[in-house]
Amino acid sequence: MSFEELLRRRAIESVTATPREIAELLAVARRDIKTSQAMMNTDLDWAFAIAYNGILQMSIAYMNHLGYRPRGEGHHYNTFRFMEEALPEDAQMIKRLQKLRRKRNTTIYEQPGLVSEQDAVDVVQLASRYFTVIEAKLPSEITGPVPKEE
C-alpha cells in the first residue's frame, strides 16, 4: 500500500516536524532500549514492551522525518504498515515488527506472562539493530545531540 493509499484511507496524515522534535523521539527510543535491557532481570513482559515502545518511537521519528505521522485507531499497525513502504529493503524486519505488535498487545491487554526470556532477548536485540538502521537514514542534525530550542 503506497503512502498515497495510506493517506486516502486516513491511516496516516501529513505533518511538519522539526529536527528537534524528531531528535527527541530518538532520545526516547534510546532511553527505552537502555531501560528494556535493565528490565531483563526484573520483568520480561515489561522488558519486551519497553523495547517495543522504543521501536515504535524510532518508526514515528522516521515517519515524521518523511513528513507523516500515524493517525487514529490502530496507529501502531499503521506505523508499521507505513514503514513497510518506507523501508522495502528491510521488509523482513518490518514484518517482524507487526508480529511483535500482536504479541505486545496480547501480553499487555490480555494475558501477562507470555514473554519468554528468549522473546525478550530477541526484541531487545532487534530494537538495537533497528535503531542503527533508522539512525543511518536520518541526517546528522537529527541523530546528533538534541538541538537546543531557538
pTM: 0.89
Superfamily name and number for 3-141 = Nucleotidyltransferases  domain 2 (1.20.120.330)
Cβ pair 107, 45 in contact under 8 A:
yes
pLDDT per 10-residue tile (average), the chain, 150 residues: 90 95 95 96 93 96 97 89 92 86 81 88 94 93 66
Position 71 scores a pLDDT of 92
Structure confidence at residue 146 (pLDDT): 58
pLDDT for res 104: 85
What is the 3-class SS of 98-132, one letter each residue? Answer: HHHHHHHHHHHHHCCCCCCHHHHHHHHHHHHHHHH
